């Protein structure tokens, strides 16, 4: 039985469609939205943390999590479990409209907490802000997706199901599906038909791009499964003393189901108020770094966060990658509040980053006058070119 047949049977069994929600032509390529059934099994756990069923409980949880005496990490684990299921993962696959070697390279971009896959493809000023559009212009194919619990992907139990190891396994499965051609086969057969997706060969190389929590997952993937990647861009993350220093109370969270506007989520999902979105994602000179429209748009894209993925994050952060040989770029925003406590200059030792992947080419770069969500800043396009130059210098 082929991998494609297995995917199809799982989709039928679970009632998940692999048909696109829409297809669109872009300035530099074509995109299809897909609902992809992904079977994943991972070690999970029950953690000791407060239940969240109201705004008051959401804010109390954030303060509790920030309290110095609150147990953290493995100390909160009650008992181990295993989660095994097929999950509907909403994704967008885009291919460039020009031929070239880059077209055979697929980027897989994983968004962070508080957003979904649209983070990589903002419509406010797509030509200047969209990483997807910039990638197409540079000749790359690119897959963006909504992580489990976010956007149009499934929204399972926030406490005991949506956890970091499971999300890591979903990223691994998406990568395997891309490498063996299953992903392109699904896109080619999905309606409406589009010649751009017909008969696509499996990508020759895969580049993994992450942001924030998506970089937690991406860095864990390349550490545990180094052969699965040919190039890596880590944005909005490095493992150091300033990581998360502002605390969760800075998010200004509501219970997602009773937020304004409300989200259709069960207990355990929290969502930022607008002030939290600004605190976390915007930085630099407010007169030049971003516009009020960018902040409004960034707030309009926000998504709830399942607290189980935060409780379990210790499993995947700070992993060493001694066998990774693919090139890695750490791309940081100058005034990243959540990762660098507001100023990335001098906040890390480049040699420490290189020591994480001793066999790989590792570079670091700081994009001026930008905050954590750099695509929503005026200086985004210049930063994209830095990424593509790095990949090009290293043969991807």
The more confidently predicted of residues 345 and 6 is: 345
* DSSP single-letter state for residue 174: H
- Residue-wise pLDDT tens digits, 327-358: 999 999 999 999 999 999 999 999 999 999 99
> What distance in Å separates the CA atoms of residue 200 and residue 196, rounded to the nearest whole number?
8
Query: How much is the pLDDT for 362?
Result: 98
For residue 207, what are the CA distances in angstroms to 127, 146, 279? 22, 18, 30
Task: Say which residue the tokens 């499971």 belong to.
Answer: 166
* DSSP single-letter state for residue 288: T
Two tokens at 329?
């770029």
Residue 24: pLDDT above 90? no
- Residue-wise pLDDT tens digits, 59-89: 999 999 999 999 999 999 999 999 999 999 9
**Average pLDDT score over residue span 119-126:** 95
Residue 212: pLDDT above 60? yes
- Residue-wise pLDDT tens digits, 213-259: 999 999 999 999 999 999 999 999 999 999 999 999 999 999 999 99
- Residue-wise pLDDT tens digits, 268-312: 999 999 999 999 999 999 999 999 999 999 999 999 999 999 999
Instruction: Decide: pTM greater than 0.85.
Output: yes
Domains of the chain listed by start with CATH number:
3-43+82-243+322-393 (3.40.50.1820)
Which candidate, 101, 126, 167, places its Cα nearest to that of 31? Answer: 126
């Amino acid at each position: 039985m082929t991998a494609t047949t297995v995917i199809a049977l799982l989709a039928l069994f679970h009632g998940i469609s692999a048909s696109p929600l829409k297809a669109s032509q872009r300035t530099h390529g074509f995109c299809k939205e897909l609902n992809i059934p992904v079977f994943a099994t991972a070690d999970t756990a029950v953690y000791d943390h407060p239940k969240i069923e109201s705004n008051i409980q959401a804010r109390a949880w954030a303060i509790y999590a920030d309290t110095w005496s609150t147990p953290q990490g493995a100390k909160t684990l009650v008992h181990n479990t295993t989660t095994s299921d097929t999950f509907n993962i909403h994704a967008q696959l885009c291919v460039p409209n020009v031929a070239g070697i880059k077209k055979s390279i697929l980027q897989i971009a994983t968004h962070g907490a508080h957003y979904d896959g649209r983070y990589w493809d903002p419509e406010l000023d797509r030509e200047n802000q969209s990483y997807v559009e910039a990638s197409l212009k540079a000749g790359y194919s690119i897959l963006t997706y909504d992580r489990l619990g976010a956007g149009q992907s499934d929204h399972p139990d926030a406490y005991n199901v949506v956890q970091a190891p499971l999300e890591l396994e979903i990223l691994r499965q998406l990568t395997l599906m891309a490498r063996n051609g299953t992903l392109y086969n699904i896109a080619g057969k999905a309606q409406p038909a589009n010649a751009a997706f017909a008969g696509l060969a499996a990508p020759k190389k895969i580049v993994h791009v992450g942001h924030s929590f998506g970089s937690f997952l991406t860095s864990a993937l390349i550490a545990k499964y180094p052969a699965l990647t040919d190039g890596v861009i880590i944005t909005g993350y490095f493992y150091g003393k300033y990581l998360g220093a502002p605390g969760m109370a800075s998010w200004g969270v509501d219970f997602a189901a009773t937020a304004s506007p409300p989200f259709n989520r069960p207990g355990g999902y929290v969502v930022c108020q607008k002030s939290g979105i600004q605190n976390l994602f915007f930085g630099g000179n407010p007169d030049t770094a971003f516009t009020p429209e960018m902040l409004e748009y960034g707030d309009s894209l926000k998504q709830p966060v399942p607290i189980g993925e935060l409780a379990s994050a210790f499993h995947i952060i700070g992993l060493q990658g001694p066998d990774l040989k693919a090139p890695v770029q750490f791309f940081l925003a100058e005034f990243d509040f959540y990762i660098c406590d507001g100023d990335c200059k001098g906040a890390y030792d480049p040699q420490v980053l290189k020591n994480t992947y001793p066999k790989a080419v590792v570079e670091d770069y700081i994009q001026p006058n930008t905050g954590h969500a750099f695509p929503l800043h005026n200086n985004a396009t210049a930063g994209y070119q830095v990424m593509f130059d790095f990949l090009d210098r290293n043969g991807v």
